[in-house]
Amino acid sequence: MQQVVVIGGGVMGCLTALELLDNGRQVCLLERGSTGQEASWAGGGIVTPLYPWRYSQAISALAEWSQAHYSRLCQQLHQRTGVDPEYTECGLIWLDHAEQDAALAWATEQRSPLTAVDSDFIYQQVSDLAPGFTRGIWHPQLANVRNPRLMAALKKRLLQFPEFTLLEDTLATGLKVEGGKVKGVAHSRGEQAADAVVVAAGAWSGDWLGDLGMELAVEPVKGQMLLYKAAPGWLPSMVLNESRYAIPRRDGHILIGSTLEYAGYDTSTTAQALESLRASAHGLLPALAEMQPVVQWAGLRPGSPDGIPFIGEVPGIEGLWLNTGHFRNGLVLAPASCRLLVDLMTGKTPEMSAEPYRIEGRIGIR
């Protein structure tokens, strides 16, 4: 049975591992910390790019496939693990957006159910919004997933497979290559033999490839978030205005996000971000001004040029594969990205074109 090592325990690494196991492979997952505790935990969990009409077809193709499969994925994980990822179709309203005409034209072309709505609709849908919004774009089917619970469900599901090994608090330190072919991975506990290796290390992927003498355009981009607690159902839909959003959870928690900061690997929270996020929260939902935030946190996105991920085999090293660089859309694109990668690894005909994500011509040699 083919042995695959996956480096990185975020949503990309875990879903890649699950797809590989479902295809009869043995999988060892190496995670430098705890599974699912980096960007996959820190994000908002909206199952769409924030502005889908701005993106290239490369992103749209992955997003559309993932959106069509997310509900079933979460149902299966819930049934098999007892952990509910809380996939919730609550809809999203873009408020007073300057690109409304472009968004609606895109929706017509893509047959997306985006519609223009007036202020009456907006305040009927979300009665506690701040006054003064005059128009919006409404997508009734958009969902969010409670990403910490999604990651908990994925971890529990993986551990149900006898062919799966999880090594947490284990740093991958080097690739074992013989004759241009992958043979294994050296790590902080020793070595792991492998017929193939998948690098799904998120914001750290560029550094890992750098140790192999390659330049991969993936860098950490910090995002800070704020959490409030209201009554369940108080915010019935997601709302977005001026790049800031509010996301309701089923139990009444409300996420406010997020910042976009190029600050290296710094994951500290800042007073400046707290002030900015609170101002956005109050500007959207004035009642939040009467509440104290529950917690503030930060995570590191794997930034990449144009947000187009790297999915495929690395030229010159047989058996070394990448699934990284999804920038702000990791959770959004994960189901499609992982299916595509594993289709390529197992010789299946992919359900979508692999061309936009291929590695050839997109990495440099040092």
- pLDDT at residue 77, as a whole number: 98
- pLDDT at residue 207, as a whole number: 86
| Distance separating alpha carbons of residues 283 and 285, to the nearest angstrom | 6
**289, 272 contact by CB (below 8 A):** no
Q: Which tokens sit at 327?
A: 């920038």
Fold of 219-303: D-Amino Acid Oxidase; Chain A, domain 2 (3.30.9)
- pLDDT at residue 214, as a whole number: 84
Q: Which CATH number applies to 3-53+148-217+305-365? A: 3.50.50.60
Run of H or E residues at 183: strand 181-187
Give the residue ranges of the chain where pLDDT is below 70: 365-366
Angle at 156 between CA 150 and CA 157, to 5 degrees: 85
**352, 312 contact by CB (below 8 A):** no
Q: Which tokens sit at 366?
A: 């040092």
Q: Which tokens sit at 224?
A: 């800070």
pTM of the entire predicted model: 0.97
| Distance separating alpha carbons of residues 177 and 275, to the nearest angstrom | 50
**209, 272 contact by CB (below 8 A):** no
- pLDDT at residue 182, as a whole number: 96
Q: List the chain domain ranges.
A: 3-53+148-217+305-365, 92-140, 219-303
Residues 6 or more apart from 148 whose CB is under 8 A from it?
36, 41
- pLDDT at residue 365, as a whole number: 59
The count of residues in the chain is: 366
- pLDDT at residue 130, as a whole number: 98
**311, 276 contact by CB (below 8 A):** no
